[in-house]
Amino acid sequence: MLRAMRTFSGTRPATFGRHSLEAACRAVVSSASSGRTVTLADGSELALRPIGEQDLDALIRFHEHLSPESVHNRFFGLHPHLSVRESRAFVTVDGRQRMAFILVDRGRIVAVGRYEGLEDQESAEVAFVVADDLQRHGLGTVLLRVLAEYARGAGYQRFVAQVLSSNTAMREVFAGSGLSPVFKRHQGVTEVELDLRSVEVV
């Protein structure tokens, strides 16, 4: 997913340690009165916005079109269908303890990134899933940037995640984040910790 990209436009990017995510992916994020737009290297544009209850059906359709490999990477096993109950939980956020952003292409959800705060009130678990046809276009990196900005503004100091060790694309996103990633591998699962304290909230 990590490739050199063009300059961000419309808003100053958050600073991740000494690195900015503007050099970490191929997507460009800009701000407009209607929200944020992500422009891919081929010029196509995606809308970036918080998830909402109105996205329930679209989220179910998004999951239905994921490949078995993508589902396995996200859920660590077989999970071909989302129930309405699961989907309702996924689209319900409170803007602090639970938050999620989606990327949308003409009404179709193509990527979801979310975090959920943990009991220590300083850490949040983060997770992503991207449609198969748009993987390795930098969308995971874009969502990580947006979630990190938001979570830091909400007072969180670190992200934690669990990633299958075979999921090299996601490990590359974390490794290139500039968030001082720490990796610990345990029986096929890699635990990741990211430091948010250097994130400059814009």
How high is the pLDDT of residue 24? 35
Instruction: Name the fold adopted by 15-55+92-195.
Output: Aminopeptidase (3.40.630)
Contact 151, 125 (CB under 8 A): no
| pLDDT score recorded for residue 32 | 52
Cβ 138 vs Cβ 176: under 8 Å: no
pLDDT in tens, the chain (202 residues): 222 222 222 333 333 333 333 433 456 666 654 579 999 888 889 999 999 999 999 999 999 999 999 988 888 777 777 888 999 999 999 999 999 999 999 999 999 999 999 999 999 999 999 999 999 899 999 999 999 999 999 999 999 999 999 999 999 999 999 999 999 999 899 999 999 999 987 6
pLDDT at position 75, please?
81
Nearest by Cα to 130 from 50, 61, 35, 66: 66
Distance CA 191, CA 60 (A): 28
End-to-end CA distance of the chain: 24
pLDDT at 2: 22
pLDDT at 27: 61
Place of tokens 């009130």: 121
Say what the pLDDT of residue 196 is.
Answer: 97
Note the pLDDT of residue 54. 95
What distance lies between CA 148 and its chain's CA centroid?
Answer: 9
Domain boundaries, the chain: 15-55+92-195
* In 62-167, beta strands by DSSP E: 98-105, 108-117, 123-130, 158-164
Q: Which residues contact 179 (CB under 8 A, 6 or more apart)?
A: 16, 17, 148, 159, 194, 195, 196, 198, 199
